[in-house]
Amino acid sequence: MKNEVVLSVSEPKKLTWYVNVYEVYRAYGGPQEGGWFYDEGTLHESKAFEYYDDNGEHYQQYENAIAHAKTWQSALAKEELAYALGQGEHDGVDEDGFGDDHYLLRGGSWGQGKYWIEVTTEEGADYPTKRPTYS
């Protein structure tokens, strides 16, 4: 007696891929445990790569998204982000203008930023949507 063999082939997933490009800095969260920081990302672009093009033809959306991300990577590698000093010249200094961590304001961006490029099935957005709290 021969085995019954069933072949089931699913259609390729019709996913939309996004290339999300962010500028990311560290933001001051608060003084607890000696001070803590979190990542804060500003979205520059969220480009969708659909399963079908304008003519209704199937195309390689994932491969096109990867190629677009690599183009961004090459372009951004030539740029230098500004060094961030919190929320301005007054952030982190006492009333005499001397540096003092007791005067840091929450939420300001600090240090050298970075670019973050991701290829994902989720559309990009600024993050976090709500400033985190220490727990």
Q: Which tens digits make up the pLDDT trace of 3-48? A: 666 766 666 567 889 999 999 999 999 888 888 999 999 999 999 9
Torsion angle (degrees, nearest 10) of CA 113, 135, 125, 117 = 40
**115 has a pLDDT exceeding 90:** yes
Rounded distance, CA 130 to CA 110, Å? 18
pLDDT at 58 over 90: no
Q: Are 84 and 110 spatial neighbours (Cβ–Cβ below 8 Å)?
A: yes
Q: Is residue 5 part of a domain?
A: no
Tens-place pLDDT, residues 59-69: 788 888 999 99
Residue 99 structural domain: 17-120
Average pLDDT, the chain: 85
**Has residue 71 been placed in a domain?**
yes
pLDDT at 78 over 80: yes
d(CA 56, CA 131): 42
Residue 4 inside a domain? The answer is no
Whether residue 126 is predicted with pLDDT greater than 90 in this model: the reply is yes
User: CB-based burial of residue 62 (10 Å sphere; 0-12 exposed, 13-18 middle, 19+ buried)?
Assistant: middle
Total structural domains in the chain?
Answer: 1
Mean pLDDT of 70-83: 90
Is the CB of residue 43 less than 8 Å from the CB of residue 88? no
Residue 12 lies in a domain: no
Is position 125 within any domain?
A: no
**Better pLDDT: 115 or 104:** 115
> Which pLDDT belongs to residue 118?
95
Measure the CA–CA gap between 113 and 108, rounded to whole angstroms: 12
pLDDT tier for residue 92 given thresholds of 50, 70 and 90: confident
81 band by pLDDT with thresholds 50, 70 and 90: confident
